[in-house]
Structure 1
């Protein structure tokens, strides 16, 4: 556990008692603070009490007297689409509002570091797509290189549940816009911006607010090195703001699909090859095409981001290449789960919107596509340019018929359930084809989350392969 520093003897309110809220409460107590816990949900309050915590009703009139800070769980909106009433009350009372990420950054460094040969460092990854894979890939590279490392944030453990860092430790954090938006301290040593596409716009008041939340990781923290994807205009803007000139190698620009010129430091992937350029010359090249855990251009972008972060930490290109080759990917993200009769089965249940599904569809040839669920605004109309590799679609869930109308002349079948979709796709698939689950929809019509949906797909495939 990392104890929270700076609040010894103070009363600190905690709003939201999920995983991060309870971890913060424990860390506050370990740092000598008095945590005041509250959640609007009776079930969450009951779980907190069962865990040994004392509740404090923040809805009372005098609740904010002598409160030093309010720590808000990331899932609670604080400004848009409308201010949370308790957060608004804290702000009116002049109580500083923070979250677990802000407290982590102000508590991470301790006097114990004076006795370490190499001070611990933090790599923080944000962006719209690929955050989890990039974070896990950086962590994997460090592990393969024999470097002490921990992974936390929006993936793995909560930031306060990690162990106190040892000599030379590298903590790799995945940070969502919900986490960067409210943190009062953001000081990573290496900050990574993968890409930007519309998401969570109601929470951030539009695309500008969404980008602003991501940008805070760089603008507030001034990282020693910034790894920035420049395939969208926002990334190019951010890279320009962070660099003092074209040759400033504190900024590493990354891309998937375009060659990056200039005297600075860049890492890009084209036609399956990753290239590193520095000071106007190529210094390394890696063939990504045969790496099973990194299929498709979107994963090649993730590889570029992870490679650049690892290079910023001082790792050699060949060490990174060996680690990339041994990476097997994350569950439910372009995950190859089996093969039968020359047909590959791939689980990308995390593709919950059209943008992420488009990336999955571009990663494979001759696809039997399983899609559907609880469709989002616009459905799959935006996928029309990316359906050239789809042999046939097998549609499931609430939006199956709506999706069918948007597919036009593309062969499709309304299957409704995962069981039937997997069975029909497997029965019709020919050698060399891929049965791909990339739903382009939320899972909540039939499953509790995308993980359960992906697990169902995996189980159906495993049963088929076993027969």
Structure 2
């Protein structure tokens, strides 16, 4: 646990009793704060009472008497589409609003660090797609190279639940737009923007607000090094804003598909090969094609970002390459779950938006595509250039018929359920095909989350394979 600094003897309110809210309450108490909490749901309030926390209805303005700050869980809207009543009440009372990310950055460094031979470092990763894989890959490379490391944030443990830093440790944080949008302090040593495509538009009042939330990671305090994906205009904008000129190698530009040789420091992947350039000269390269845990161009972009971070932290190219070879991949992200009679079954349930699904479709030559779910704003047009890879679509979800109508030029069968889709795709697949779950939609019409959807796919695949000869 990271005891929160700066609130000893003061009263602090915590809104939301999910994972991050519970951890924030414990960490505040460990730092000497007096904590009151609230959750809109009875289950959350029951958890709080069972943990011995003091409940107070924070939606009432009178509840902020004596409150120094309000700490908000990331799932709670603080501005768009409308501020939560408790946040509006905190504003009216003049109580500063923050989140666990802000608490972490004000509390992680301690006097113990004065005795360390190597100062701990914090790497923060954000972006629309690939941030989980990039974060996990950085952590894996650090661990494989013998550096102490922890993984937290939007993946793994909550930021305040991690252990106090060890000598030379690297803490890797995956941060969502919900987390970067509200944190009052963000001072990572290395900050990463993987890419930017439209997502969470209701929460940020459009694409511009979403980008502004991501950009705060680079504007609030500023990292010592920035690794920026420049395949979109927003990334190019951030890279330009941070750079002091063509020779400034504090910004590492990253691309999947572009050859970047003019920047002071760049890492890019083309045709399966990663290349590192510094001041116009190639200084490193890796053949990514045989790394099983990183299939497809989108994962090659993630590899470039992770490679760049590890280089800024002092690792050599061969050390990084060796560690990448053993990277197992993350569940629900281009996860190979089975292979039978020449047919591969791949679980990319995390492809919850059109852009991430498009990247998954580019990774394989002939696909039996399981797709559908709760559609997001913007439609499916961005998928159309990649449909030639699809032999047939098997559409699930309550909106299956509408989803299928938006897939011109390919056979599409309305299956509705995962079990029906997997059974039909497995029966019709030919050697060399990939049965790919890449929904291009949220899971909430049928599942609690994308993990549950992916687990259902895995279970259905296992059942099909058990029934097949060979």
Contact 2:130 2:298 in 1 (8 A): yes
Contact 1:379 1:403 in 2 (8 A): no
Contact 2:61 2:93 in 1 (8 A): no
Question: In the alignment, what sits opposite 2:432?
Answer: 432
User: Residues of 1 paired with 2:296 and 2:218: CA distance?
Assistant: 28
Per the alignment, do residues 378 and 214 of structure 1 end up closer, same or farther by CA in structure 2, a change over 3 Å counting?
closer
Matched position secondary structure for 1:62: helix
Q: Deviation per CA, 1:1-35, whole angstroms, max 9, x where unpaired? A: 10000110000111111111110000000000001
Question: In the alignment, what sits opposite 1:331?
Answer: 331
User: Residues of 1 paired with 2:201 and 2:375: CA distance?
Assistant: 17
User: Residues of 2 paired with 1:83 and 1:408: CA distance?
Assistant: 40
Question: In the alignment, what sits opposite 2:276?
Answer: 276
Contact 2:59 2:89 in 1 (8 A): no
Alpha-carbon distance, 1:407 to partner? 2.1
Q: Deviation per CA, 1:398-433, whole angstroms, max 9, x where unpaired? A: 122112222233122222221121111111111111
| Number of positions where the alignment pairs a residue of Structure 1 with one of Structure 2 | 467
Question: In the alignment, what sits opposite 1:389?
Answer: 389
Q: Which moved more, 1:81-90 or 1:154-163?
A: 81-90
Contact 1:246 1:264 in 2 (8 A): yes
User: Residues of 1 paired with 2:61 and 2:254: CA distance?
Assistant: 51
Question: In the alignment, what sits opposite 1:304?
Answer: 304
Listed as ranges, the matches of 1:4-19 within 5 Å are: 4-19=4-19
User: Residues of 2 paired with 1:178 and 1:111: CA distance?
Assistant: 31
Q: Deviation per CA, 1:219-251, whole angstroms, max 9, x where unpaired? A: 112111100000000100100111111111110
Q: Deviation per CA, 1:297-337, whole angstroms, max 9, x where unpaired? A: 11110000000000010001001001111112111111011
Listed as ranges, the matches of 1:235-384 within 5 Å are: 235-384=235-384
Question: In the alignment, what sits opposite 2:165?
Answer: 165
Matched position secondary structure for 1:68: strand
Question: In the alignment, what sits opposite 1:206?
Answer: 206
User: Residues of 2 paired with 1:272 and 1:435: CA distance?
Assistant: 22
User: Residues of 1 paired with 2:183 and 2:190: CA distance?
Assistant: 17
1:126 and 2:126 aligned: yes
Q: Which moved more, 1:326-335 or 1:375-384?
A: 375-384
Question: In the alignment, what sits opposite 1:465?
Answer: 465
Listed as ranges, the matches of 1:66-85 within 5 Å are: 66-85=66-85
User: Residues of 2 paired with 1:258 and 1:241: CA distance?
Assistant: 20
Q: Which moved more, 1:204-213 or 1:1-10?
A: 204-213
User: Residues of 2 paired with 1:386 and 1:409: CA distance?
Assistant: 11
Provide structure 2 residue ranges, at least 5 long, that are not aligned to the other structure.
none
Matched position secondary structure for 1:71: strand
Provide structure 1 residue ranges, at least 5 long, that are not aligned to the other structure.
none
Question: In the alignment, what sits opposite 1:398?
Answer: 398
Calculate the TM-score normalised by the size of structure 1. 0.98
Matched position secondary structure for 2:406: helix
Matched position secondary structure for 1:269: strand
Per the alignment, do residues 377 and 58 of structure 1 end up closer, same or farther by CA in structure 2, a change over 3 Å counting?
closer
Alpha-carbon distance, 1:372 to partner? 1.4
Question: In the alignment, what sits opposite 1:145?
Answer: 145
Matched position secondary structure for 1:407: coil
Poorly superposed stretches of 4+, deviation over 6 Å: none
Question: In the alignment, what sits opposite 1:452?
Answer: 452
Contact 2:180 2:214 in 1 (8 A): yes
Alpha-carbon distance, 1:61 to partner? 4.2
Question: In the alignment, what sits opposite 1:35?
Answer: 35
User: Residues of 2 paired with 1:2 and 1:195: CA distance?
Assistant: 30
Calculate the TM-score normalised by the size of structure 2. 0.97
Matched position secondary structure for 1:461: helix
Contact 1:366 1:390 in 2 (8 A): yes
Alpha-carbon distance, 1:136 to partner? 0.4
User: Residues of 1 paired with 2:40 and 2:448: CA distance?
Assistant: 21
Alpha-carbon distance, 1:379 to partner? 4.0
